[in-house]
Structures are given as structure tokens and as C-alpha cells.
Amino acid sequence: MGSGGGFFDYNNDGYLDIYLVNGADLPGMKSEVPPTNKLYRNNGDGTFTDVTLEAGVGDTTYGMGCVAGDYDNDGDEDLYVTNFGANKLYRNNGDGTFTDVTLEAGVGDTLWSYAAIFFDYDNDGDLDLFSENYLDYSIAKDKKCYVLTFRDYCSPFEYDGQPNNLYRNNGDGTFTNVTKEAGLYTLKGKGMGAIAVDFDNDGDIDLYVTNDRVPGFLYLNNGDGTFTEVGIQAGVALSDNGAAMSGMGPDAADYDNDGDFDIYVPHYSYEVNSLYSNDGNGFFSFASYTAGIAKYTLFYVGFAGKFVDYDNDGYKDILTGNGSSLLHHHKKDDMVTFEETNQMFRNNGDGTFNEVSKELGPAFQEKYVTRGVAVADYDNDGDMDILVCDWNDTAKLWRNNGGNRNNWLMVKTVGTRSNRDGMGARVKVTAGGITQTDQVKCGGSYLSDSDRRLHFGLGKSKTVDLIEVRWPSGLVEQFRDIKANQLVVLTEGEGITKQVAFTWK
């Protein structure tokens, strides 16, 4: 299927590093050099150094995805890797190295895991872990499937689904599996992606899960350690005509700047990608047609979806990573290709989008079999860059050379009463008559992890009128008249503790 990758600052030097997840040899296959996951340290000058060996994170299991989070609240980012096989939790030692603590932590999920998310579902000040699983598949259960007369990958209909896992952080370095008591246990899912934000604005973090040819799940957090699944009632489980689709890597953001979080989900060809607009009353509207993205996505196989304000105009655009999963589908359908171009949909600020990929340079003109995408300002110049992870190919790093023509603000949160990452903190930024809302989160897209810092495009505004942060603890803080084009660090209960004007070396 292909794997993902992500950005995180493993050594706390202010520059985001890159972790890439790789597959592995299967029975009957033998590589000259065994594939391993890779950690690349950002040198701060546009180059990276492979530090996998010295860091101790070169897992050789068949890798799927990764997510970073400070689960032990010690001030550095730890790393969780999902696999076709046992997952891995690496604790950051704070000296450039990691220790595999999977067994002692109790999070070594051995099913076919896809996405994972750190989030504080019980709001007790430390990060819990959600691990999502796909199909009940093994080499011994492998079936022979065909496109025409050509051997190809099987449909998810050929295999049963697997239960997901929710691990509660005990605060002592260990986790407890609370999937059943939290109300998340089901055999009906075939999970491919997940994202956790506060969809209903009630102060706790909800969970959205996409499934392959199975209705999606929206789990609303009841605030007592349990969840209620409302996907169909809320309107985010199916297509506009009531069909279950191939739900791939989702994302959530307030694309229409109305104060609540909307959802974007890429799908298979002949299933237009879903843009679910949050109506603010517990329901979502299927907005793909009115927003103008349906006609651009019908013949693509979308794997990764990501909201990103690439042009810094104050409205979240949509990035989609595309590429088929069937080697021979194009031999019976000339509307579909195996390699596909990736897409960027520019937000017009009125609820509609235009497909602008052809305007963004050669990177968007090349065809790939893309799986994971992640976004981050890796060069600290004020605009968001893109990491692309392709099936059976090298990863690509696309530097944004145009977004910083507009102004911007970057916000980093540090929790004190809340979890150290400030995961779940809700931040509003008002500038130029526009109020943007975002929330600190991880994961999303397809098996990938993006910049934890919140990025706000400001257009031509040189001053931010108001920053408001609502911490998971319930504390609300406000800051006024902040200069644009800088990183501000908000520490819970202490205010703005650091301001950095980015300077690219």
C-alpha cells in the first residue's frame, strides 16, 4: 500500500527534522540492503543529515506510518511507528538518541496498523494514544486477485476488518488499553486514517476515523472517558448519495473561518473527495460540489488530504496526494492511470476552491504514486513546505518559494497544567478583519505527521489584533497587537515567553 513520513523537532533546535517510514522484504523477496526507516536531522541551512543509526530509530519492520508527541511530558518529542507487524514506541532521551520502550509501555499493537494519533482524550494532562488497524491480513491468508488476467492487489472486501486500539496514558511511562470501556471497540472498521479535534466545541477532543469501503466513524467525546459514535447522524460517514466509500487520509480545519472544524477526505476514483462543512449544530453538509472540488477529483485516487494555507492569505487551501493502488486498473479503464499528479485547491475565501496545481511549478506537473503528505515550515521562512512520500520511490521535499510574499504568524504552545505539547489547545488569531481558528493536533493526512506549530497566513496585515488561546485545562488567555512574521511561543499561564523572527541561513 505504501507508507508515510513526518516532521518533528527531535533535538529541540527550532528546525523540523524528517522521519521517513519504509516497507520491508516479504517472503520471496530479498533486497541487497534491507529497508529501514530513516531520521534526517535538519541542519538549518537547507540540508539534512542522516542520523538514523546514532538516534536508534532505524526500525526494519514493514513500516506504515508515524506520529510524534511528548507522551512523558519531559519537553522532547517521542515517536510512535505503525507497522504491518508490531508497532514501536521510541522514547526521546533528550540527547539525540531514542530508546525503544514498546514492551514496557504496553503499546505494541501487532495487528496491521495504519494511522496513529497522540491526544489527551481524558484531559488529565498527558497524551493518550490511538492506534488504528486495517484488515485481518497475513501472508498465510493472501488471496489471488486479478484485474482482467493480471495478478493485482485485492479489494478490502476480500478481508475482514480489525479493531482499533485506544491506550490511556497512566502517567508513569505505561499505557492501559481502554478501547472497550471507552466505546471504541468494533470489528466493522477497516481503518485508513484518523484525526482528533474538538468538532462540537464542547471543550474535549473528538475523533474521526476513515475506513476503506466501510462508513466512517465520528466519535464524540462524552467527557467521562467514553465516546459516542455519530458518523451517520452527523453526515460524515457516507457520500452525498449514501454510499460507503474508500476513506483515505483525512484532515480537519476551519476552511471557511466560521469557528468550527470541517473535514476533508480523499477517496478512490469515481468517488469524489468529500468536503464535509461543519454546520456548528452537530451536523455536517456535503460541500464537495458547491465548493467546486468534486469535478477535479472524480478520476483520481486520493490517498492523502491536508489543509494548508500555502499562499498565506488567511484561508486554508487543500493539498491532495494522489496515486492508484491497482497496478493494472488503467488497462481496463483509460480514464484512470497508475501514476497521477498531486493537486492543490486554492481557497477563494467564499466557500469555493479552484484547482491551481498547474500554477505551482514542475513539482505538481510530475506524476507519482503518492501515499503520505506532510506540511511544515522546515526552512523557517514563514510559508509551508511539503513532504511527499511515494510508493516504491524516493520521498520528495517541495520548498515553498511564494507564500512568504504575504505576512504570517506561527504559534507554538507549551502546556503546564495541560499536556506539555499543548495538544488540543484552540487558538484564534484575528487580523485584517479575519478571525482564523486552529487547534494543536498531530497526525492526519495518510500515515503522516505535520508541523505541530500553528501557521496563520495574514495576507497584507502586518499586525495581529488578537490571539486567543483556550487551553485543554480550560484556561483562556488573550494577547493583543502582536507583530506579524514571527514565531510566538505561548506558555500556559505565563503568556508569550518567546518571540522569534525567522531568518533562513
Q: Which CATH number applies to 5-500: 3.20.20.10, 2.60.120.10, 3.40.50.300, 2.120.10.70?
A: 2.120.10.70
Residue 311 confidence class, pLDDT cut points 50, 70, 90: very high
Model pLDDT, residue 27 = 62
Q: What mean pLDDT do residues 66-87 have? A: 98
Model pLDDT, residue 10 = 99
pLDDT in tens, 479-498: 999 999 999 999 999 999 99
Place of cell 496498523: 113
- In this predicted structure, the answer to whether residue 502 has a pLDDT above a threshold of 90 is no
The pair phi, psi for residue 362, each rounded to 5°, is: -65, -25
CB 388 within 8 A of CB 398: yes
Model pLDDT, residue 331 = 74
Q: What mean pLDDT do residues 31-56 have? A: 94
From the list 319, 431, 448, the residue with the least C-alpha distance to 389 is 448
Beta-ladder partners of 367: 341
Q: Return all residues near 440 (Cβ < 8 A) that are at least 6 apart.
A: 413, 421, 422, 423, 424, 425, 427, 452, 454
- In this predicted structure, the answer to whether residue 454 has a pLDDT above a threshold of 60 is yes
Percent of the chain with pLDDT over 90: 88
CB atoms within 10 A of CB 41: 21
Q: Which of 92-106, 133-147, 331-345 has the lowest mean pLDDT?
A: 331-345
Residue 144 confidence class, pLDDT cut points 50, 70, 90: very high
Model pLDDT, residue 335 = 74
Cell, residue 306: 491536508
Output the CA–CA distances (angstroms, integers) from residue 60 to 78, 87, 191, 325, in the order listed.
Answer: 18, 11, 23, 23
Beta strands 98-100; 113-119: pairing state: unpaired
CB 450 within 8 A of CB 462: no
Q: Return all residues near 364 (Cβ < 8 A) that are at least 6 apart.
A: 341, 342, 343, 344, 357, 358
Residue 330 confidence class, pLDDT cut points 50, 70, 90: confident
Alpha helices (H) in 270-348, listed in sequence order: 288-291, 294-297
- In this predicted structure, the answer to whether residue 505 has a pLDDT above a threshold of 70 is no
Model pLDDT, residue 28 = 65
CB 472 within 8 A of CB 415: yes
Q: What mean pLDDT do residues 191-219 have? A: 98
DSSP letter at 482 equals E
Which strands, in side-by-side order, build the sheet including 128-133?
Answer: 113-119, 128-133, 165-169, 175-177
On average, the pLDDT of the chain sits at: 95
- In this predicted structure, the answer to whether residue 133 has a pLDDT above a threshold of 70 is yes
pLDDT in tens, 406-453: 999 999 999 999 999 999 999 999 999 999 999 999 999 999 999 999
Q: What mean pLDDT do residues 395-414 have? A: 94
Residue 503 confidence class, pLDDT cut points 50, 70, 90: low
Taken as a whole, the chain contains a residue count of 505
pLDDT in tens, 167-177: 999 999 999 99
CA–CA–CA angle 336, 342, 343 (5° rounding): 105
pLDDT in tens, 270-308: 999 999 999 999 999 999 999 999 999 999 999 999 999
- In this predicted structure, the answer to whether residue 404 has a pLDDT above a threshold of 90 is no
Output the CA–CA distances (angstroms, integers) from residue 53 to 49, 50, 59, 144, in the order listed.
Answer: 11, 8, 10, 38
Q: Which residue has the higher pLDDT, 338 or 178?
A: 178
Taking the CA atoms of 267, 272, 273 and 277 in sequence, report the sign of the dihedral they define. Answer: negative
pLDDT in tens, 243-262: 999 999 999 999 999 999 99
DSSP letter at 212 equals B
CB atoms within 10 A of CB 478: 10
Percent of the chain with pLDDT over 70: 99
Residue 372, helix vs strand vs coil: strand
- In this predicted structure, the answer to whether residue 97 has a pLDDT above a threshold of 70 is yes
Output the CA–CA distances (angstroms, integers) from residue 174 to 120, 285, 342, 418, 441, in the order listed.
Answer: 15, 40, 40, 19, 22
Residue 73 confidence class, pLDDT cut points 50, 70, 90: very high
Model pLDDT, residue 337 = 83
First to last CA, the chain: 38
- Classify residue 473 as exposed, middle or buried by CB count within 10 Å of its CB (0-12, 13-18, 19+): middle
